[in-house]
Amino acid sequence: MNDQPVAPAPRSEASPQADSPQATPRRSTARIVRRPVHGVLLLDKPLGLTSNHALQRARWLLRAEKAGHTGTLDPLASGLLPLCFGAATKFSQVSLDADKAYRATLQLGQRSDTGDGEGRITAGAPPAFDFDALAAACRALTGPIAQVPPMHSALKKDGKALYAYARAGLAVERAPRRVTIRRLDVVEWQADRLVIDVVCSKGTYVRTLAADLGDALGCGAWLRALRRTASGPLRIEQAITLDALETLDEAGRDALLLPPDVLLADWPVLRLPDDEAGRFLSGLRRRVSAPDAPAVRVYGPEARAFLGSAHITAGELIADRLLSPLEVHAIAA
């Protein structure tokens, strides 16, 4: 990684921010005929590629009409990037809001003004702590914490992204934000290198967490590498690389698509009889004999007849996001 200062780009990590501009994917000069594609592709995003660039390459390979991703990964980060196609884009916010898991590699004994290797690296102090002190520092940063968003991020102040102020050499006041670190586990520690596993709420900046951990240890730290390993119920072990995707024919790529309801896999299920399913799809509220719930996934009588998401209040099923009848049939088929 380059230790010299360069013009910073927007960072996002666990926070869904906009991608910085990148070159468009390599494409054939032949016209691509788009088609309706419905489902979720779990992509293992490589280093050096923006999330949007990765999305557009996958969309081109699938010839999909509609596509979106569920939370930006920096070009300097790799790992799980769920891509939504067609009807699945209606539920992408669920994945955006979900907890994320990362494996992070920290460089100890140094600090970076961007929190990673793209910034100006300065000396900290030689690591002089023992494992008990490390475990105590990790415990102190676990649970609800306040994070000050980094200047090199796409968050906006007075309508301008923070990284724009940083490029101009300006620092502006940023209000701390509440995030939750569900788990912070030590995987490996050797001299000035520390590997940790982090499970955190949306909006968490892992490089800020790395810097805070380095400060707590009295030596300083910056984020040398970051890999997303999970997003809600989805895991990196299920993901495919772009290179592997490119070797498949179209049928092979289609076979990798998971149904849209995989994004809601940890929600309770409510199944409706055929006549009630039709009324629900039309947006009508239905009386159900089920306990109140803030979020349920709703199905028709057939096993794969996913209809959409809803909530239950006072025995009434109220639709939140619905599929069209055509989408229901296409997914079930």
Predicted local confidence at residue 83, as pLDDT: 97
pTM: 0.86
Cα 203-205-210 angle, rounded to 5 deg: 150
Band of pLDDT at residue 317, cut at 50, 70 and 90: very high
Structural domains for the chain: 39-97+234-260 (3.30.2350.10), 100-231 (3.30.2350.10), 267-332 (2.30.130.10)
pLDDT reported for residue 103: 98
182: closest CA among 142, 128, 137? 142
Q: Which of 198, 283, 244 is nearest to 14 (CA)?
A: 198
Q: What is the pLDDT of residues 105-146, one digit of tens each?
A: 999 999 998 888 888 899 999 999 999 999 999 999 999 999
Distances in Å between the Cα of 223 and the Cα atoms of 102, 117, 189 are: 12, 7, 14
pLDDT > 90? residue 14: no
Adjacency order of strands within the sheet including 269-271: 269-271, 293-299, 306-313, 316-322, 286-287
Q: Return the pLDDT at 148.
A: 83
Positions annotated as catalytic residues are 74
Query: Is residue 100 within 8 Å of residue 71, measured between CB atoms?
Result: yes
Look at residue 322 and tell me whether its pLDDT is greater than 70.
Answer: yes
Cβ proximity of 72 and 182 under 8 Å: no
Q: What is the pLDDT of residues 155-179, one digit of tens each?
A: 777 677 767 776 776 677 778 889 9
Strand partners, 322: 308
pLDDT the model gives residue 29? 54
* Residue 227 DSSP label: E
